[in-house]
Structure 1
Amino acid sequence: MLYERNGQRDICIVSLLLKSGLLVSDIVNLNVENLSIKDKHIEISRQWSGQKSYHTVLFSDSTRADLIKYLELRNLNSNQISMKRHYF
């Protein structure tokens, strides 16, 4: 089960990197509350030279399916999502 969950996590990470243009630092800092699976977008903030910028990044239907499968493997429900802040 651990291998399956980590394998699906890795699929999600690669999918987000390749299909959405997110940076590794964006994915590392991704919180559950910044992710909208229903609307297929992620709200990210980046800090560059002391200035913060906010972006909305869209993702594809296939990435959405990967994210849902990963959430199912993590066995999350709405109560558990708020307890674990980081997505990966």
Structure 2
Amino acid sequence: MKTVNEVSKIAGISIRTLQYYDKIGLLKPSAYSESGYRLYGDEDLKVLQSILLFKALEFPLKEIKEIITSKHYSRNLKLKDKV
């Protein structure tokens, strides 16, 4: 498990961005430490990677959330639509 600080450094985004993604339900941490700190697992990092990819392709956050929370989610299909 990785802390918010570690994930922000790995992904090159701010801690504030991760907190915002949690607040809007886009990226929820897998767990919380005893002190209440957000902890992210490998699956969370994969989701974050998808979020950042869609964001780079100029998808709005609302649409990204709809895509990644869909039970029929397929990153490849959405990318084909965008290209």
What TM-score do you get using the length of structure 2 for normalisation? 0.39
Whichever structure has more strand as a proportion of its residues is: 1
What TM-score do you get using the length of structure 1 for normalisation? 0.37
